[in-house]
Structure 1
Amino acid sequence: MKEINAENLEDFIRGTAFLGTGGGGDPYIGRLMVQQELEKCGAITLLDPDELTKDHFGISLACMGAPTAFVEKLPNASAMIASMERAEKELERKFNCIIPLEAGGINATIPLVVAARLGLPVVDGDGMGRAFPEFQMTTFNIYGADVNPFVMSDDFGNTVLLNTDAAIRTERYGRPVCVQMGGISQCASYPMDGPTMRETCVPRTVSLAIEIGCAIREARSSVSADVCDAVVDYFKNASPNPRFASVLFDGKVQDVLRETTAGFAVGRAKLTALDDPGVEMVITFQNEYSRASVGDRTLAIVPDLITILDRETGEPITTETLGYGQRVKVVAIAAAENMRSPEALEFIGPRAFSIDEDFRKLETLTWQ
């Protein structure tokens, strides 16, 4: 039986920072929160999606808000439990497992904190396979799960319940509420039975995060290995589902334009190549990195994963900590196949991020 414990926590946290693709909040805070709970419970059990039955009834837990707000306002596990309990009251049924909404950042760790407190297992999967900024941008929604009831809680015991005809409307109604709650709200959504979770999730992403973190750690301990290249090699050789991966750029952060607006952290970063300062890469983001380009040439675009790593340590750098002068490598990874389908691209393709171009697979775009 798989589990999250004190031995693999560091690997897991580093892997979630990688899968956060720049968003999801400070992984250090997530580590402290999970570590505190592990000291009490010892370990958190993971359920493989193939083990799920009709007797399983799960809820997806996540924070809504801009990563920049997380710097000063921490996630609140008690408020998250309040949202979960309000959903149980609405449905007149108790949840017996938890499934993360996304695989990146704080939203990959807060479900573990709640699970540890309540003594519940966590499904080894999620609804994004990475991090996305909006609640309709999930494989749960894409493949037919119902977002309702959607419950939001703040730090003062207040809850807001939404029942809508579409997940995108839930996002549109819920985001202004989140802003009024101080920029962060703790949300419970997508209640599902076992077969629905199995059919709609991106499977085994908790395990994936552990393996990514392990690959970075082992490469760091080797005097001859390039950490960023080691991550790329991990994805290319992953069994049973290898993915295309590439180091897109080796450079220095030259400029960052970032603002928090309408509940999102939006902006762009400009990088210059270390071997040729005349070559520039621009990366745009909405909470997470969404497009990487050199000149008018796109090199990677959502839903494929773009992450910025410290070029020496391989440590993922989030949008709120990206700053002038950092020496970095930009790494891109092909998204899981169920995130590249025509149905998925309607919700998580470039045009869902107001990028006026069609999705093209990473393996057809890379230039090196």
Structure 2
Amino acid sequence: MSYTLEIHDLADLARGAALLGTGGGGDPYIGRLLVEQALRDGPGTITVLDPAELGDDDVVIPTAQMGAPTVMVEKIPRGDEAVAALRALEGHLGRRADATMPIECGGINSMIPLLVAARTGLPVVDADGMGRAFPELQMETFSVYGVPGSPLAIGGENGETVVIDTGADNKRLEWLARGIAIRLGGVAHIAEYAMSGADVKRTAVPNTLSLGLRIGRALRTAREEHRDPVAALADTMSGTLYDKVRVLFRGKVVDVERRTVAGFARGSATLAAFEGDGRLELVFQNENLVARVDGEIRCVVPDLICVLEADSGEPITTEGLRYGQRAVVVGISTPDLMRSPEALAVFGPHAFDLDVEFQPVEDLVSL
């Protein structure tokens, strides 16, 4: 069922989306401010559509930001780049969009489609193509289940637009688009995976905006009521597509190694246990990919690895990791359509050159 999103909802949605983004997806604070300003300048509300409400022949064009999260912290968007990308793709296709949609969960990338909606009046579909965040454009459930990312339109901060068409080769599309984003300063805005309403219903992870909003509210309320945020998170996830929540580790960040390479933020972080000698190591490429405790794997992509501030429950992105932070690391099961053999071939451990096999977090860590 459709609903209306207002300014006062954005802080909770950004918080919940940042958690689902498993460390990536861009800075949630920046994205929220962009949407807030657009709503003040324009309609004041955004319509969010349930995927089931789409007509089979509706045209849905997802919009997003791409680039290294470390760059996004310093290179704040002007605010009209994603709309420019959308208009460029519409012009190339010769048809206007009936709705936009996120390509992923994540701080800024759950916000960019809302920004587009506030600027254009389009509704936003309550779904996405990752159910979390991934660093590369072919790593989409859309791609896994047969929707081409091409043609893709890119918008830059100085009014540049580029359209790329690689046919059904979504991996080559990523390679070319990444190169352009690097030359635009490390970050750009995109419109891609134009599809029908029928394809959305067949390939998207449903209701992730609504879930992000519920997560954000639950974490905030737990903090205000001095309750355990992890327990509140587990209660919220119960009965959803993400119903297995496991605490992987509690400790302090003692080391962070991070660099921007080929358009990605790559690196690792180490946490030392609050009690005892245990250590957790995170490896990330924009998003957290694998968590090892004392050398043993506790969670691996595509399952979600989320780092939260120990006391407040606020999600910590990979670019926000700092020495001395007190954190709890949580593993969350990903939806079943993201665990199929076809999906694991596109965004499982081997897609990131990790020499490990996927195992569900609920098998690796008991309650």
TM-score (norm 2): 0.96
Match of 2:34? 33
Structure 2, unpaired ranges of 5+ = none
Match of 2:214 among 195, 211, 221: 211
The alpha-carbon deviation at position 77 of structure 1 amounts to: 3.3
Change (3 A) 1:173 1:327: same
Residues in 2 aligned to 1:153 and 1:32: alpha-carbon distance in whole angstroms: 20
Match of 2:161? 159
The alpha-carbon deviation at position 19 of structure 1 amounts to: 1.1
Corresponding letter in the other structure for 1:358: E
The alpha-carbon deviation at position 313 of structure 1 amounts to: 0.2
SS at match of 1:246: strand
Match of 1:99 among 98, 101, 108: 101
Residues in 2 aligned to 1:229 and 1:96: alpha-carbon distance in whole angstroms: 39
Q: Deviations over 1:212-248 (max 9, x none)?
A: 011101211223x21122212321x235x46101111
Q: Deviations over 1:39-78 (max 9, x none)?
A: 2312100110111113421101111100000011113431
Corresponding letter in the other structure for 1:182: G
SS at match of 1:151: strand
SS at match of 2:266: strand
Are positions 1:250 and 2:253 aligned together? no
SS at match of 1:112: helix
Residues in 2 aligned to 1:124 and 1:302: alpha-carbon distance in whole angstroms: 23
Residues in 1 aligned to 2:344 and 2:132: alpha-carbon distance in whole angstroms: 15
Match of 2:333? 334
The alpha-carbon deviation at position 88 of structure 1 amounts to: 1.0
Are positions 1:351 and 2:324 aligned together? no
Residues in 2 aligned to 1:15 and 1:148: alpha-carbon distance in whole angstroms: 30
Match of 1:177? 180
Residues in 1 aligned to 2:252 and 2:55: alpha-carbon distance in whole angstroms: 49
Q: Deviations over 1:163-202 (max 9, x none)?
A: 1131111011221111111000111100011101111100
RMSD of Structure 2 on Structure 1 (CA): 1.3
Residues in 1 aligned to 2:109 and 2:11: alpha-carbon distance in whole angstroms: 16
Corresponding letter in the other structure for 2:199: T
SS at match of 2:319: coil
Q: Deviations over 1:313-335 (max 9, x none)?
A: 00001111101010000011100
SS at match of 1:190: coil
Corresponding letter in the other structure for 1:5: E
Corresponding letter in the other structure for 2:350: R
Are positions 1:82 and 2:84 aligned together? yes
TM-score (norm 1): 0.96
Q: Deviations over 1:291-336 (max 9, x none)?
A: 0001231000000000100000000011111010100000111001
Residues in 1 aligned to 2:16 and 2:219: alpha-carbon distance in whole angstroms: 9
Report if the CA contact (8 A) 1:310-1:316 is conserved.
Answer: yes
Residues in 2 aligned to 1:316 and 1:264: alpha-carbon distance in whole angstroms: 20
Match of 2:110? 108
Corresponding letter in the other structure for 2:255: D
Report if the CA contact (8 A) 1:20-1:288 is conserved.
Answer: yes
Residues in 2 aligned to 1:318 and 1:103: alpha-carbon distance in whole angstroms: 13
Change (3 A) 1:242 1:181: closer
Match of 1:187 among 178, 187, 190: 190
The alignment-based identity, stated in percent, is 46
Are positions 1:221 and 2:224 aligned together? yes
Residues in 2 aligned to 1:153 and 1:98: alpha-carbon distance in whole angstroms: 16
Residues in 1 aligned to 2:4 and 2:195: alpha-carbon distance in whole angstroms: 22
Residues in 2 aligned to 1:264 and 1:144: alpha-carbon distance in whole angstroms: 26
Match of 1:147? 149
Match of 1:296? 295
Report if the CA contact (8 A) 1:256-1:270 is conserved.
Answer: yes
Residues in 2 aligned to 1:280 and 1:158: alpha-carbon distance in whole angstroms: 46
Report if the CA contact (8 A) 1:216-1:230 is conserved.
Answer: yes
Match of 1:56? 58
Residues in 2 aligned to 1:264 and 1:75: alpha-carbon distance in whole angstroms: 18
Report if the CA contact (8 A) 1:76-1:186 is conserved.
Answer: no
Change (3 A) 1:177 1:10: same
Match of 2:126? 124
Q: Deviations over 1:339-364 (max 9, x none)?
A: 11111001110011110111100101
Report if the CA contact (8 A) 1:58-1:96 is conserved.
Answer: yes
The alpha-carbon deviation at position 367 of structure 1 amounts to: 5.5
SS at match of 2:109: helix
Report if the CA contact (8 A) 2:57-2:198 is conserved.
Answer: no
Match of 2:20? 19
Report if the CA contact (8 A) 1:77-1:114 is conserved.
Answer: no
Report if the CA contact (8 A) 2:135-2:264 is conserved.
Answer: yes
Residues in 2 aligned to 1:95 and 1:77: alpha-carbon distance in whole angstroms: 19
SS at match of 2:8: coil
Residues in 2 aligned to 1:222 and 1:177: alpha-carbon distance in whole angstroms: 47
My pick for the range that moved more, 65-74 or 154-163, is 154-163
